[in-house]
Amino acid sequence: MKDQSHKRHIAKTITWRIIGTFDTILLSWIISGDATIGLKIGMVEVITKMLLYYFHERAWFKINFSREGVVLESRKRHIVKTFTWRLIGTIDTMIIAWIISGNPLTGLKIGFAEVVTKMILYYFHERAWYKINYGLSDRHKSK
């Protein structure tokens, strides 16, 4: 399972980054009023967010949520995981948007807008991946 889990986490990283980058570009463009700024922020985030997401995914994989030896996957776990990722992602977005736009207020606006859109998108991404067994040799599901 350990070798396969790396493949799963890389696949999850890539699928989430595609969704997240599109959302960032769109929000950055709308908030800044400049498509170039939106594209620049999105492209820088491809790198930073993939690295941060991979390490976040690895950390959550190592957290043992089990009862009597059976790993529990639940909506509560996905919600907590969503909030921890969003905190990391929002801070990263705010810093990148501030640097690229040159305006700290633009960074804050983009970061706060993403809190809502990304948490919704991330929750559904997690739920979808929960239903996919790619990279898992054995898993017990719970509702």
pLDDT digits (tens, 9 = 90+) for 102-114: 999 999 999 999 9
Contacts of 38 (CB under 8 A, 6+ apart): 24, 25, 26, 27, 28, 29, 30, 32
3-state secondary structure of 69: coil
* Residue 89 near residue 49, CB atoms below 8 Å: yes
Instruction: Please give the model's pTM, rounded to 2 decimal places.
Output: 0.72
Q: What confidence tens digit (pLDDT) does each residue in 42-90 have?
A: 999 989 988 998 899 889 888 766 666 555 567 777 788 888 988 998 9
pLDDT above 60 for 1: no
Beta strands (DSSP E) in 97-139 are none
Q: For residues 30-44, give the mean pLDDT.
A: 96
What is the crossing angle of helices 35-62 and 2-32, to 10°? 150
Average pLDDT over residues 27-38: 96
Contact 81, 60 (CB under 8 A): yes
In this predicted structure, what is the pLDDT of residue 143?
A: 42
pLDDT of residue 100: 97
Helices (DSSP H) in 1-103: which residue ranges? 2-32, 35-62, 75-101
Residue labelled with tokens 């800044």 = 32
Percent of the chain topping pLDDT 90: 47
pLDDT at 142: 45
Sign of the four-CA dihedral 98, 104, 108, 110: negative
pLDDT (average), residues 130-142: 70
Q: Phi then psi for 30, rounded to 5 degrees?
A: -60, -45
Question: What is the residue extent of each domain of the chain?
Answer: 2-130
More confident residue, 53 or 21: 21
Q: Is the pLDDT of residue 32 over 80?
A: yes
